[in-house]
Amino acid sequence: MARKGVFASVVCLLVCQQASAIDKQGLLSKYKDKFVVVAREGLSTCLHSPLRPAGILPLPPDPAGMSVVIHTLGQPETVYAINCQVVPIHVGEVLKVSHTSFVGGYLRIEMKTVLPHNATRGIGAFAHESMEWGVTTATIGSDKGDTAKADALAAQWFNLDTSTVELGNTASGIFVNHVKAGMSFAEVEAALGVPQTRVDLGEKVLYKYKDMTVEFHDGKVTDVR
């Protein structure tokens, strides 16, 4: 009889662990590589320029990022912000989830802004405006290992229903409607920032951004892809 009890306990332990692993993986998959709409005020993002002026040798962009803990009660708390200009994220803004994980039993959702924000760089005579993308890591601080509570808390801040949001047709979800046919170089740069690469092909000019290309003919936009 005792052996049956021990066997049943072992089976239960294995089944419970498997169910927990499935639940956890399901929660990670629920948000991974998805677009989410910010549902509440109180979150921030870390702006970082995709390009950094280089000296003699080309250098990669400075690493930048921030982490916020979303508690069950109260406003999110910024744990760290590295190489950041911190700006608020408002209700209705769309973010692209780049990675999900569990760390110490807490759900972590790494996100990037879909549209660039305006940042001020430099000081004095060197001050200038820059259009930059933001990165944020949200740590959902419910009870350790409780996927149901983590799921419920994340749903209070991030809405997965983007049916009412007009997303772009690019991998990053850029709002293509911000760039329309007939816009000038200056208008496109005002909406998206300076391109990472400009290609002059004579009869046409291509502005290449991270996840999209804008095509100009005679100085006016003719295609966005």
**Residues 134 and 66 both lie in one domain:** yes
Looking at the fold, whether 105 and 140 belong to one and the same domain comes out as yes
What is the mean pLDDT of the segment spanning 44-69? Answer: 62
Residue where the block lists tokens 């294995």: 14
Query: Rounded CA gap, 175 and 164, in Å?
Result: 13
Last residue of a domain, one of 124, 159, 194: 159
Cβ pair 175, 166 in contact under 8 A = yes
pLDDT at 3 over 70: no
- With the C-alpha atoms ordered 174, 178, 179, 180, is the resulting torsion angle positive or negative? positive
Cα separations (Å) of 151 from 29, 34, 128?
12, 15, 41
Q: Report if residue 33 sits inside a domain.
A: yes
Mean pLDDT of 131-159: 85
Tell me the average pLDDT of the chain. Answer: 75
Query: Is 34 domain-assigned?
Result: yes
Query: How large a percentage of the chain has pLDDT more than 70?
Result: 69
Question: pLDDT at position 144, please?
Answer: 67
User: What was the pLDDT predicted at 183?
Assistant: 83
- 136 and 31 fall within a common domain: yes
Shared domain for 214 and 105, answered yes or no, is: no
**Per the structure block, which two tokens stand in for 37?**
């709409």
Q: What confidence score (pLDDT) does residue 192 get?
A: 74
Structural domain containing residue 86: 27-52+62-159
Which structure tokens are listed for 138? Answer: 């949200």
**Does residue 10 belong to any structural domain of this protein?**
no
The structure's pTM equals 0.62
Counted domains in the chain: 2
My answer on whether 148 and 180 are in the same domain is no
In a domain, 22, yes or no: no
- Is 99 among the domain residues? yes
User: Does residue 92 lie in a domain region?
Assistant: yes
Does 96 map to a domain? yes
First-to-last alpha carbon distance for the chain, in angstroms, is 69
Task: Assess whether 140 and 35 both reside in one domain.
Answer: yes
Measured CA to CA, the distance from residue 195 to residue 122 in angstroms comes to: 20
**Span 193-217, pLDDT tens digits:** 788 888 998 889 999 876 678 899 9
